[in-house]
Structure 1
């Protein structure tokens, strides 16, 4: 028997297990597959280093940086490019305005100069400086941005950026849950533009390569270090088939036998967590099932020549007739991801297109890339990664849903949740989610009566 069983070997589960180890707790980590890391998947082949899932974390959120530093991993920044990224709108690639804070302009000069917006669109955005503060407790992203900055800013700038983060349909994302910092800007500064200008001065810029970071061997280098630290307490190819509360403990049924634990951290995607809780926590199951997830996929295409590309990548605005949400020019974004003189391009897809077969996804990504380039390029290697659960969508009311979920879990003392469907989809939030779940499990063990 273990004191704590951690179910799921993504970064949430790995972080929870590390926190338990640091505290001296007896634990086991169960992972259903033969590999750890969850959506973090790095492949090295043919001289290329390919990220299947996320390709970076951000420096201004310290959870991943601190974890990497504890293992002696040195981060690398993106290659300097100016402009660093483009948005495809009305058939033309336009540079992202400099000085963005997440999704919104934080530099009035850059806003005035950007060709992404018409003159009337820019004037409407500047009206934000005079508008009163909103009165709603929460509202959808589209409604919020159009109220503050106008529909043109939303369609041309915010929607492509938000779609690149969450996938799915960005219109209905909750401001308080999905973009709490932007929501707070209006509450604190009244003007969204003035608030963004002040806040972005505290951060690095995209152009200097200081905002995003990875590692020389890709993000999976951190997965490997975490796995090595956990050692034999990790059980691979051990799916949890059935979770059974049993007189103050939990019985975990797996194909390899039955385990017992005093506490459990479920660090699986929400749909799997819902299935495990269904027999004894119907309210929590319903709440978990109510969090929408959009399937996602990435296709990396390696070419034997240098393609005519600029910046780090391209986001695609709605209505352009493309199926991909955007491209990353990997060889221009990161050092040493491709041999000299060749190109590595990554396409990101979400929603219904991401449900296609690997062959169909590869064909679709290549067709959209050829259309953008106006060239009949042929890849030498193709790498396809599919994520059926994809990304959770934080709809209006998500924070209240999470609060009700925590209340529902009180009926199962010693059971805790971790994952990207709770309080943030980024890697720092995922790591923080795992550590918080471990801290709650440790507090429970300290207070729980001895059976």
Structure 2
């Protein structure tokens, strides 16, 4: 019997297990797949380094950097590019304005110059400097941005950027859950533009390569270091088929037999966590099943030529007739991801398009890329990755639902959750959620010990 069983070997589960190891707790980590890392999938093949899931973390959130430092991994920034990326709107690729803070402008001169916005759209955005603060505690992203900066800024700039982060349709995203820093800017500075201008200082820029980072061998190299540190306490290819509460402990049923633990950290996607909790926590199950998710997929296409591409990539605004939501020019974003003279392009899809099979995904991605380039191109390699659970969509009231979920878990003391559906979809938030779940499990064990 282990003190804690961690279910799920993504970065949330690995981080929880590392925290338990640091505290000297007896634990086991069980992962259904033969591989660890969850949505972090790094592949090296044919001279290419491909990321199937996320391809970066951000410098201004320390959780991933601190993990990397602990394992002796040196981060690398993106290659400097001006402009950093483009947005396809009305059939033309327009540079993303410099000085963005998350998904809103943080540079008034860049707003004035951008061809993404008409003159009336720019003047409406500047009205933000005079508007009063909003009165709502939470509101949808579309409502918030249109209230502060106008509908054109939302359609042309914010929606493509937010869709690239969360997938699906970003209109209904909760400001309080998905973009709390923007909500705080309005409360602190009244003007969103002035608040963004001040807040982005010292964060590093997209254009200069100081905002995002990865590692020379990709994000999977950190997965490997974490797994090596955990050693034989990790059980890959061991799915948990059922979770059964006993008196003061839990029994986990696997194809290899049952095992028991005093506490359990569920670091799986929300649908899998719901399935395990269904027999004994119906309210928590309903709350988990009520969290909307949009399926996602990526396709990386390798070409034996240097394609005429600029910046780090292209986001596609709504209404352009593309099925791909955006492209990353991987060989121009990161060093040493493709052989000299080759190009590596990654397409991102979400929603119904992401449900296609791998061959069809590759075909759709290539069709949209050819349409953008305006000419025939033939890839030498194609790598498709599908994520059926995709990305959680934080709707208005999300944090209140998470609070209700935590209250529902109190009916089965000893169960704790970690994952990107709780308080942030980024890798730093996933790492933080894993460590927090481990800390709660340790506190529970301390309280449960007889005096």
Q: Which residue of 2 aligns with 1:330?
A: 330
Residue 10 of structure 2 corresponds to residue 37 of structure 1: no
Deviation of residue 359 (structure 1)?
Answer: 1.0
Equivalent position of 1:369 in the other structure: 369
> Which residue of structure 1 aligns with residue 136 of structure 2?
136
Query: Which position in structure 2 is the counterpart of 1:348?
Result: 348
Distance 1:73 1:40 in 2: 16
> Separation in 1 of the partners of 2:199 and 2:359?
44
1:236 aligns with 2:229: no
Whole-angstrom distance in 1 between the partners of 2:201 and 2:50: 33
Paired residue secondary structure (2:217): coil
Match of 1:60 in 2: 60
SS in 1 for 2:421: coil
Distance (whole Å) between structure 1 residues aligned to residue 332 and residue 256 of structure 2: 46
Q: How far apart, CA to CA, are the structure 2 residues paired with 1:199 and 1:33?
A: 41
Deviation per CA, 1:158-211: give whole Å up to 9, x if none.
Answer: 000000000011000000001011111111111100100010113111111010
Structure 1 unaligned regions, length at least 5: none
State the distance in 1 between where 2:280 and 2:189 align.
46
For 2:244 and 2:326, locate their aligned partners in 1 and report how far apart those are by CA, in whole Å: 43
1:148 aligns with 2:148: yes
Q: 2:201 & 2:54 partners in 1: Cα distance?
A: 26
Partner residue of 1:125?
A: 125
Q: For residues 257-272 of structure 1, what are the structure 2 equivalents within 5 Å?
A: 257-272=257-272
The answer for the alignment partner of 1:412 in structure 2 is: 412
Distance 1:358 1:341 in 2: 26
Give how far 1:102 is off: 0.3
User: Which residue number corresponds to residue 224 of structure 2?
Assistant: 224
Kindly indicate whether residue 448 of structure 2 is the aligned counterpart of residue 430 of structure 1: no
Matched ranges for 1:163-182 at <5 A: 163-182=163-182
| Cα distance per residue 1:8-53 (max 9 Å; x no partner) | 0000000000000000000000000100000000000000000000
CA displacement, residues 276-297 of structure 1 (integer Å, 9 cap, x when unaligned): 0010000000000110000000
Encode CA deviations 1:315-336: one digit per residue, 9 max, x unaligned. Answer: 0000111000000000000000
Corresponding residue of 1:8: 8
3-state SS of the aligned residue for 2:243? strand
- Which stretches of structure 1, 4 residues or longer, exceed 4 Å deviation after superposition? none
Aligned ranges for residues 278-317 of structure 1 at < 5 Å?
Answer: 278-317=278-317
Secondary structure of residue in 2 paired with 1:13: helix
Task: Report the alpha carbon displacement of residue 449 of structure 1 after superposing the two structures with TM.
Answer: 3.4
Q: What is the rounded CA distance, in whole Å, between the counterparts of 2:79 and 2:114 in structure 1?
A: 23
Instruction: State the alpha-carbon separation in 1 of the partners of residues 271 and 29 from structure 2.
Output: 19
1:445 aligns with 2:445: yes
**Alignment root-mean-square deviation, CA:** 0.7
- CA deviations on 1:406-439 (whole Å, 9 max, x unpaired) are 1001111111000000000000000000000000
Q: Distance in 2 between matches of 1:146 and 1:202?
A: 27
Tell me, in whole angstroms, the C-alpha distance in 1 between the residues paired with 2:167 and 2:69. 30
Mapped partners of 1:201, 1:240: distance in 2: 46
The C-alpha deviation readout for 1:196-252, integer Å capped at 9, x for no partner, is 001011311111101000000000000000000000000011100110000010000
Superposed, 1:380-391 pairs within 5 Å as 380-391=380-391
Q: Tell me what 2:249 maps to.
A: 249
User: Which residue matches 2:88?
Assistant: 88
For 1:43, what is the secondary structure of its paired residue? strand
Q: Which structure 2 segments of 5+ residues have no match?
A: none
Counterpart of 2:171 in 1: which secondary structure? helix
Distance 2:237 2:102 in 1: 38
- Name the SS for the 1:19 alignment partner: helix
Distance in 2 (CA, whole Å) between partners of 1:57 and 1:11 is 13
Residue-by-residue CA offset, 1:106-137 (whole Å, 9 max, x unaligned): 00001000000000000000000100100011
Q: Distance in 2 between matches of 1:77 and 1:99?
A: 17
Give the secondary structure class of the aligned counterpart of 1:389.
strand
* Paired position in structure 2 for 1:73: 73
CA distance in 2, matches of 1:143, 1:66: 36
> Distance between the aligned counterparts of 1:66 and 1:327, measured in 2?
29
Q: How many residues align?
A: 451
For 2:51, the equivalent position in structure 1 comes to 51
Distance 1:360 1:67 in 2: 37
**CA–CA separation in structure 1 for the residues paired with 2:407 and 2:284:** 9
Please report how far the alpha carbon of residue 375 of structure 1 lies from its aligned counterpart in structure 2 after TM superposition. 1.1
1:319 aligns with 2:334: no
